[in-house]
Amino acid sequence: MLIFVPAMYNLIKNFLFRYPPESIHHSVMRGMKTIYSLPLGKNILNAFCGVKTPGLEREIFGLTFSNPVGLAAGFDKDAKYIDELACLGFGFVEIGTVTPLPQPGNELPRLFRLPEDKALINRMGFNNEGAVAAAKRLQRKRSNIIVGGNIGKNKVTPNEEAVSDYEKCFHALYDVVDYFVVNVSSPNTPNLRALQEKEPLKQLLHHLQVLNAQKVKPKPILLKIAPDLTTEQLDDIIEIIKETKLAGIVATNTTISRAGLKTPAAEVNDIGAGGLSGLPVKKKATEVIRYIHTHSQGRIPIIAVGGIFTAEDAQEKLDAGASLVQVYTGFIYEGPTIVKKICAGLRPTGIH
């Protein structure tokens, strides 16, 4: 039966890929929610997709993960499917990016498939229903899965006032998430990546850490970075992480590069701006992870994202220095058993 499920998904995927990516995403997730709500729905999802591989637990920044495979931000932006996703074996789920105020994001279409490259291009633009709405949903979740809150600023907020937006998200989500990720690396919000520069980034992270220290139980705060940074910028990031005592790094976000794609250039040009994810980002993400791990003497925990489709891809990221991995594009191309398959092929390490 387990052999049949991936084969079945390949057939279903051929059908699903005939429809616009964003609309079919919502349809599929609503369908999964319906299955979950059936009397035996949760058991069925667990039976086919749940992870039972022993020895994959690990303790990172004070949290114990049942396995190292998580779902990256962007898939369940508004925390609408946490319990359903928990049944698919994920060790953790990262919601968002959420902003203080609801915003519609960029104009449609804004999500595109590149099947020849096993990739996606998106320019979603932080479309979400706001931090307060996400927090209310998380208060109702039933599973004990670890949840990360990926936070950003509203499009209309100038960079000079960005700190206030991140602060509002931090307060709104503090009681309902297990860790935070500061997103300053999306290419789809104008001028957002300028916040990755040394001084504004240091100011932002320091402010959040001051707020965090005032809490009875501070939460881990991580920084999500782009794959397009220079080595000098990565050195600055490492220095800032150490200086602000952040819990770790998420590496990496989508890339603005279009180098080496198999998809015809004319088709890629027609798609236009946006962040590229999937297999084309795999090598660059691994290089960034290895650089950070090496130049920080392994002292900065890293969540790896970028081109993870198989157990071999995930193991490559872990061997490069990552502590955890996240999937997004791979989930879309490989289907609901991706976590089970990855975990089955990883080397057990036990809690460390």
Q: Which residues have a catalytic role annotated?
A: 186
Residue with tokens 């907020």: 157
For the CA atoms of 63, 51, 113, 268, what is the dihedral angle to 10 degrees? 60
8 Å CB contact between 187 and 275: yes
8 Å CB contact between 155 and 315: no
Tokens, residue 186: 């999306």
Contacts of 31-34 with CB under 8 Å at 24 or more apart are: 32/81, 32/84, 32/336, 33/80, 33/81, 33/84
Tokens, residue 240: 């800032």
CA atoms of 260 and 169, how far apart (whole Å): 37
Cis peptide before 99 (omega within 30 of 0): no
Phi, psi of 92, deg, nearest 5: -165, 160
The rounded radius of gyration (Å) of the Cα atoms in the chain is: 19
Q: Is 3 exposed, middle or buried (0-12, 13-18, 19+ CB in 10 A)?
A: exposed
Nearest one of 328, 340, 329, 321 to 60, comparing CA atoms? 321
- The beta-strand segments (E) located in the chain are 58-60, 63-65, 69-71, 92-98, 111-114, 119-122, 146-151, 179-183, 221-225, 248-251, 275-278, 302-305, 324-327
8 Å CB contact between 164 and 203: no
